[in-house]
Amino acid sequence: METVYYKIKDNRTENTAALEKAGEIIRSGGLVAFPTETVYGLGASALSDTAAKKIYEAKGRPSDNPLIVHISDTAEAEKIAYTSEMYQKLAERFMPGPLTVILPKRDIIPDSVTGGGDTVGIRCPINETARELIRLAGVPIAAPSANSSGKPSPTSALHVKADLDGKIDMIIDGGECDIGVESTVISLCGDALTILRPGAVTEDMLREVCAYVTIDKAVVDPSLAGANPKSPGMKYKHYSPMANVILLDGNIEAFIDYVNRTAGNRDGVFAAENEKDKFGCTVLTVGDGSDEDIIHQLYAQLRHADELSLDNVYIKAPATSGEALALYNRLIRAAGGKVIKL
Ligand code: TXA
Ligand code: MG
């Protein structure tokens, strides 16, 4: 199949015409990759069993791993799920934005979307292109990240093209994603909520709305996910480049010293712009080295590591709290669950 590629322009009329066409593709059961503020999504009609199945096929995704359903207005949740008072509070404070709330599903959502389960993840992205596409499609859009299963998530349309060209109907290029890691995923139980996947909406932010916030243990330790985790995605190898990710826990001096003693000439290191001269091996720069900048560059640099055919990539372990928790969660999975203490 030929994949149509459309780049968002300054011209609003042209964009709307392209997004109308994309909406038509979705309505008629096709697949469209589109930008969001977190990562690119691979969208299909969330009301169509056959369309959702095409997503699993294009990505090579295990069929029991549920898809997130994207809406353009928080009130639409009521049509596809049984909402609650806590959902309303969370929606008011964090939506549109990088938060996915898992709720009991209504029958209108086919089983293929939820991996056979009776709950559905609801997300209302803040990215304008994403919202306009959902509005124009006229149906909620089921969308996982638009990568081949097991590869790092795509944060640019070129990443999507590299993985899915020829397998999907259309790619909408809306530039680089603002955040760079996937949304925070939470499950609700009455007044309490559990973070299943950390993202830009942090534990502290959620506490402003909800008194009982817990973090699933598998978030920092993938070995605790077990055979039947609360979120099926937890059990799959994820965010994984071909190079080995080696996570080192220590201060910056110990990190530089370890990398320079250990790394060979087919190895690389994540480093801030102003630290790059301190390393003897290939440097993959991550902005100013702040958690926010590393998050923004993470997936692009893991993909770049593979383009350079690196064997190992050394990365300094981030904190396990605040916004850094989202980064730690992705890195510990990319590193196969191991951290080396310096
Ligand atoms: O930021 C994001 O959330 C992106 C963009 C495209 O919106 N989407 C995304 O989807 O990351 P995906 O499919 O790559 O990751 C969704 C994660 C998976 O780990 C899945 O297991 C979990 O959320 N999930 C989805 N629905 C669920 C449900 N009903 N119950 C438990 N976990 C669920
Ligand atoms: Mg994904």
Q: Measuring from atom 31 of ligand 1, which residue has the nearest CA?
A: 231
**Tokens 């304008």 correspond to what residue?**
128
Q: Which is the closest atom of ligand 1 to the Cα of 143?
A: 6
The lowest-confidence range among 11-20, 221-230, 309-318 is 221-230
Exposed / middle / buried, residue 90 (Cβ in 10 Å: 0-12, 13-18, 19+): buried
DSSP string, 101-155: EEEEBPTTS-TTTTTT-SEEEEE----HHHHHHHHHHTS-EE--BSS-TTSPPPS
Give the type of residue at 272. Answer: A
Q: Which is the closest atom of ligand 1 to the Cα of 146?
A: 6
The pLDDT assigned to 142 comes to: 98
Whether residue 23 contacts residue 137, with contact meaning beta carbons closer than 8 Å, is answered with: yes
Q: Measuring from atom 20 of ligand 1, which residue has the nearest CA?
A: 233
Q: pLDDT at residue 190 above 90?
A: no
The pLDDT assigned to 174 comes to: 98
Nearest to 140 by CA among 226, 28, 43: 43
Average the pLDDT over 51-65 and give the result.
Answer: 95
Whether residue 331 contacts residue 203, with contact meaning beta carbons closer than 8 Å, is answered with: no
The ligand placed nearest to the CA atom of residue 41 is: 1
The pLDDT assigned to 116 comes to: 93
Pocket test for ligand 1, best of 80, 164, 231, 236 (most atoms within 8 A of CB): 231
Alpha-carbon distance 31 to 25, whole Å? 7
The pLDDT assigned to 230 comes to: 80
**H helix or E strand, kind and range, residue 190:** none
Residue 191 banded pLDDT, cuts 50, 70, 90: confident
Residue 271 Cα to ligand 1 midpoint, Å, equals: 29
**Tokens 């978030």 correspond to what residue?**
219
Q: pLDDT at residue 237 above 80?
A: no
The pLDDT assigned to 239 comes to: 64
Q: pLDDT at residue 13 above 90?
A: yes
Angle between helix axes 128-137 and 12-27 (nearest 10 degrees) is: 50
The pLDDT assigned to 238 comes to: 60
Average the pLDDT over 138-166 and give the result.
Answer: 96
Secondary structure class of 325 (helix, strand, coil): helix
Residue 233 banded pLDDT, cuts 50, 70, 90: confident
Q: Measuring from atom 15 of ligand 1, which residue has the nearest CA?
A: 144
Q: Which is the closest atom of ligand 1 to the Cα of 232?
A: 21
Alpha-carbon distance 23 to 138, whole Å? 7
Q: Which is the closest atom of ligand 1 to the Cα of 181?
A: 1
Average pLDDT of the chain? Answer: 96
Residue 68 Cα to ligand 1 midpoint, Å, equals: 5
Q: pLDDT at residue 227 above 80?
A: no
Pocket test for ligand 1, best of 68, 123, 197, 333 (most atoms within 8 A of CB): 68
Alpha-carbon distance 217 to 215, whole Å? 6
Residue 231 banded pLDDT, cuts 50, 70, 90: confident
Residue 220 banded pLDDT, cuts 50, 70, 90: very high
pLDDT tens digits along 268-307: 999 999 999 999 999 999 999 999 999 999 999 999 999 9
CB-based contacts of 35: which residues, under 8 Å, 6+ apart? Answer: 8, 41, 127, 129, 130, 157, 172, 173, 174, 175, 177
The pLDDT assigned to 189 comes to: 84
Q: pLDDT at residue 135 above 70?
A: yes
Q: Angle at the Cα of 123 (from 75 to 221), degrees rounded to 5? A: 145
Phi then psi dihedrals of residue 29, to 5 deg: 95, 10
Alpha-carbon distance 252 to 127, whole Å? 35
What is the 3-class SS of 217-255, one letter each residue? HHHCCHHHCCCCCCCHHHHCCCCCCCCEEEEEECCHHHH
The pLDDT assigned to 235 comes to: 67
Average the pLDDT over 198-225 and give the result.
Answer: 96
Q: Measuring from atom 13 of ligand 1, which residue has the nearest CA?
A: 144
Q: CB-side exposure of 161: number of CA atoms within 13 Å?
A: 13
Distance of CA 59 to the CA centre of its chain: 14
Q: Which is the closest atom of ligand 1 to the Cα of 42?
A: 6
The pLDDT assigned to 229 comes to: 79
The ligand placed nearest to the CA atom of residue 232 is: 1
Q: pLDDT at residue 150 above 90?
A: no
Residue 145 Cα to ligand 2 midpoint, Å, equals: 4
Q: pLDDT at residue 236 above 90?
A: no
The ligand placed nearest to the CA atom of residue 236 is: 1
